[in-house]
Amino acid sequence: MQEQGLTLTFPTLPSTISKVEDFIASGRTDPEPLIEIVEQDPSVSLNVLRRVNSPYHGLRREVESIDRAVRLLGFVEVSSIIMIEGVEELRSHFDSHSILLRQIAHTAVFTGRFAQELTKALDVSQDWIRLAFSAGFIHAMGRLVLLHIQPERYATLAETSPMPLPDTETEAQAFGENYRTLAPQAADHWTLPERVRSVLQIAASPTDESESPSKMLAVSIRNGSDLARRDLAENFASSLNPPDDAPASSVDDLLATVAQDASTYASDVGHF
């Protein structure tokens, strides 16, 4: 039964996420503001240093300077770490639903990474690639709004879902809203940059928008969020492989490659 008149309230967005969203939307490419954001948060600093010194980067000498770590990792990687760490600040508000929060956070990181890498592969301008992770991340965080408003009811909905986390149709039947429609409303409440809000609005209803880089990004985000939910289930990797008798498709290969990368990234960098 559809729940009409859902009273919307929104969790407080960690200041680090707001700061990095503003920085991304500003179009600035100098790393100084990003370095300052990292240096002001000990937990973010620790994770940036941990990432730059991880085997993934294979550096011969350990990096101890935040300034150097940020410059080595680059804009996209550091801004992603800042946003991921921002979720950690929310854990105290969802103590009794920590597993759900972890699942939501995983899908947010997966969606952001998927949108970022797919946008990069589609050869659009650099500013859209910069925007991709943050917009995809906030899109998936629309689920957090439902968990915030009615935690017990959303938890029950998740427990009875055949897959981890309810789908959009189930959410809409229960609440009259789903995470896709709530994401742009949350972004508006959090006064996030207009470009982020615009992409999220298109992602909620992409057929209403003509072809453009913003629609391309919005569709990438929708595809990523669908795959992110599947990534929480078992045998995700095998589900990406087409049947043996299916015709070869470079598009399918690209989507599978990007999805595999997003899954690994959400597990390794997201540490959820």
Tell me the domain boundaries of the chain. Answer: 15-268
Provide the pLDDT for residue 65. Answer: 94
The confidence score (pLDDT) of residue 187 equals 93
* H or E element, residue 246: none
- Kindly state the helix (H) or strand (E) to which residue 57 belongs, with its residue range: none
Task: At 6, list the tokens.
Answer: 């859902």
Q: What pLDDT was estimated at residue 272? A: 46
Q: Is the pLDDT of residue 248 over 60?
A: no
Min mean pLDDT across 96-100, 178-182, 220-224 is at 96-100
The Cα–Cα gap between 251 and 150 comes to 39
Q: Hunting for tokens 């952001």 — which residue is that?
A: 112
pLDDT mean across residues, the chain? 86
Alpha helix locations (H) across the chain?
A: 15-26, 32-39, 42-52, 66-73, 75-88, 98-121, 126-140, 142-149, 151-159, 168-175, 179-189, 194-204, 213-231, 236-239, 250-268
Cβ atoms of 171 and 157 closer than 8 Å: yes
15-268 fold: Hypothetical protein af1432 (1.10.3210)
| Res 197 pLDDT > 70 | yes
1 pLDDT band, cuts 50/70/90, is very low
- The model carries a pTM of 0.86
| C-alpha–C-alpha distance, residues 204 and 39, integer Å | 35
Q: How many residues does the chain have?
A: 272
pLDDT value at 5 more than 90: no
**Could you tell me the pLDDT band of residue 2, with boundaries at 50, 70 and 90?**
very low
Of 63-77, 124-138, 150-164, least confident by mean pLDDT is 124-138
